[in-house]
Amino acid sequence: MSRTLSYREALREAHREALQRDPRVFLMGEDVGRYGGSYAVSKGLLAEFGEQRVRDTPLSELGFVGAGVGAALGGARPIVEVMTVNFSLLALDAIVNSAALMRHMSGGQFGVPLVIRMATGAGRQLAAQHSHSLENWYAHVPGLRVLAPATVEDARGMLWSALQDPDPVVIFEHAQLYNLEGELPEPWTQDIAHAALRREGRDLSIVTHGGCLPKALEAARQLEGEGISAEVLDLRVLRPLDDVAIAATVAKTRRLLVVDEGWRSGSLAAELMARVVESALFYELDAPPARVCSEEVPIPYAKHLEEAALPQPAKIVAAARRLLGR
């Protein structure tokens, strides 16, 4: 049994399920209520659950994310929506200095079972202050779990599992994915610990996440036409990384291409490559690992410039060819 729905609808269903199943759960964020969510994820939920469960906040990211940390400490199960990752920088103190450190700093006494969701990524001509991919900043921090649902199934299934985590979870929703339509199998996966193989292949492994997954799959289709068989691994979980799945695909294809919308320097891609080359897998490689990242420029407004700044199927195809010496 399966049915077709959009990533946005899948997220909305996941919220409805969470609000129905657990009275401790509430959603708060800028315009999540009357406006229906800046990406319309929570549309209709205010009418269904009321103002105590779907709480519009002022434009004070530090204040309401910090309040989410406190509410989680106090036994509630808040879902905090931040409009975009760029705005989350105003709340970094609450996320890093409070949420992520609390359990360890308190000698294990206080956990912060908080879920923070935010849009990330470019591709909608929203220019420099709404378009960045800073997942790696959060994936750097011990104490956080970082998720990047890239499919309708994960949009549906990850939220409930995240709410069961006794520690803070940050969920990145790529802005390009909200309109994505896909099949939702029944039952759907609720796994928030492992990467998922989205396509099997023999010649190289494309490892990616979030908004780059559809681009990687498109590139793999094009490569197929050229006789190159690309495996595509969707990380899904950016912290802690699924080292086993990464090692398995690299051991199989012996070639690694990482596709990451973050800037190249200090990127998640860099971390993945380092993990492979510092391990015994290094000797298994048939070529140096490669990566396709965003160009090191603030994301521009003009469409052609924005496209040029981001990983694209053509860039992935070209990098794959180079990796194979073609």
Partner 1 sequence: MNIPESLAFRTDVRQHERAFCHDRLRDMLRIRRLEERCAQLYGEQKIRGFLHLYIGEEAVAAGVMPNLAPQDNVVATYREHGHALLRGLRMEAIMAEMYGKQEGCSRGHGGSMHLFDRATRFYGGNAIVGGGLALAVGLALADVHLGREGAVTACFFGEGAVAEGAFHEALNLASLWRLPVLFLCENNLYAMGTALARSEANIELTALAASHGVEAAQVNGMNVLAVHEAAREAVRRVRQTRTPRFLELHTYRFRAHSMFDAELYRDKSEVERWKQHGPIHGFTDRLKAAGMLAEEEFQALDRAALDEVEAAVRFAEAGRWEPVERLLDDVVARP
Q: What are the tokens at 204?
A: 């190289």
Q: Dihedral sign for Cα 272, 278, 279, 283, please.
A: positive
Between 78 and 262, whose beta carbon lies closer to partner 1? Answer: 78
Give, as ranges, the residues between 256 and 285 that touch partner 1 (CB under 8 A): none
Between 76 and 197, whose beta carbon lies closer to partner 1? Answer: 76
130 catalytic? Reply is: yes
CA angle 151, 10, 44 (to 5 degrees): 150
Between 108 and 227, whose beta carbon lies closer to partner 1? Answer: 108
Q: Which member of 27, 32, 83, 94 binds partner 1 (CB under 8 A)? A: 94
103 forms part of the interface with partner 1 (CB under 8 A): yes
Q: Which member of 22, 43, 76, 275 binds partner 1 (CB under 8 A)? A: 76
Q: Using CB under 8 A, which of the segments 30-38, 55-63, 216-224, 225-233 binds partner 1?
A: 55-63
Q: How many residues bind partner 1 (CB under 8 A)?
A: 41
Between 109 and 265, whose beta carbon lies closer to partner 1? Answer: 109
117 forms part of the interface with partner 1 (CB under 8 A): no
61 catalytic? Reply is: yes
Query: Nearest distance from residue 105's CB to partner 1, in Å?
Result: 5
- Contacts with 305 (C-beta within 8 Å, 6 or more apart), sequence order: none
Q: Which member of 33, 36, 37, 68 binds partner 1 (CB under 8 A)? A: 68
Query: Of the residues 15, 130, 174, 209, which is catalytic?
Result: 130
Q: What are the tokens at 147?
A: 């998720």
**For partner 1, what does the binding mask look like between residues 9 and 38, x meaning CB under 8 A?**
---------------x-x------------
98 forms part of the interface with partner 1 (CB under 8 A): yes
**For partner 1, what does the binding mask look like between residues 136 and 155, x meaning CB under 8 A?**
------xx-x----------
167 forms part of the interface with partner 1 (CB under 8 A): yes
Contact positions vs partner 1 (CB under 8 A):
24, 26, 52, 55, 57-58, 60, 62-76, 78, 93-94, 97-98, 103-111, 142-143, 145, 166-167
Catalytic sites, residue numbers: 61, 130
